[in-house]
Structure formats: structure tokens, C-alpha cells
């Protein structure tokens, strides 16, 4: 199945801590590893509930934010790819 068609969900052992500056940390409680995440990454993370594909997330971003860069799809795919690589989403 293509990455764009997968409906990812959060790894249940991963928790998000949002910081005062809109950045956050994803902490994998099983591995004891933390990952910094920027505000857009947090927004993407919150969309990954098992019912949204990459394309769904992209549509929500385009409908929610203004001044979206032309390469937003590449950014969304890159964030999701990194989350998968670190097993933060399944």
C-alpha cells in the first residue's frame, strides 16, 4: 500500500508534551526516547488518529492555514515518514 493511502495512528506508548513556544516533544515511553517536533509537526501528529491519510491531512492543512508553501505536500510526507521511521506512529 502506498504511504499516501495509509491511515496512520499514534503509537500508544508515545506521548506528546507541548511546550510554551508551540514546539513539543514526542516521548516514547517504551524506548525512553524523545523527539522534538515543531508546531506544524504537532498539528500533523494530532490528525493521525487512524482515520486520516496523508492526503486527508494535507487537505485539512490547506483548509485551515493561510499562506501555505507550494511544497507543503513534501513537508507533510517528510514529517509522516520520520514519525514512521522512529515508530512514533503505526
Return d(Cα 81, Cα 89) in angstroms, integer. Answer: 9
Indicate whether 15 belongs to any domain. yes
Question: Are 25 and 17 a contacting pair, CB within 8 Å?
Answer: yes
Residue 2 has pLDDT above 80, yes or no: no
Residue 5 has pLDDT above 90, yes or no: no
* pTM for the whole structure: 0.91
The predicted pLDDT at position 41 comes to 96
Indicate whether 90 belongs to any domain. no
Indicate whether 65 belongs to any domain. yes
Indicate whether 35 belongs to any domain. yes
CATH of the domain at 61: 3.90.930.60
Phi, psi torsion values for 14, nearest 5 degrees: -105, 130
Q: What is the pLDDT of residues 15-46, one digit of tens each?
A: 999 999 999 999 999 999 999 999 999 999 99
What is the percentage of the chain residues whose pLDDT exceeds 90? 93
Count of domains forming the chain: 1
Q: Which domain holds residue 43?
A: 3-85
Indicate whether 28 belongs to any domain. yes
Indicate whether 70 belongs to any domain. yes
Amino acid at each position: 500500500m502506498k504511504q499516501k493511502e495509509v491511515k496512520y495512528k499514534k503509537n500508544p506508548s508515545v506521548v506528546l508534551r507541548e511546550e510554551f513556544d508551540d514546539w513539543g516533544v514526542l516521548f516514547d515511553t517504551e524506548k525512553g526516547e524523545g523527539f522534538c517536533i515543531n508546531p506544524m509537526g504537532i498539528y500533523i501528529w494530532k490528525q493521525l488518529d487512524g482515520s486520516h491519510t496523508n492526503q486527508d491531512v494535507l487537505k485539512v492543512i490547506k483548509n485551515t492555514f493561510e499562506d501555505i508553501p507550494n511544497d507543503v505536500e513534501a513537508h507533510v510526507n517528510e514529517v509522516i515518514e520520520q514519525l514512521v521511521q522512529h515508530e512514533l506512529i503505526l
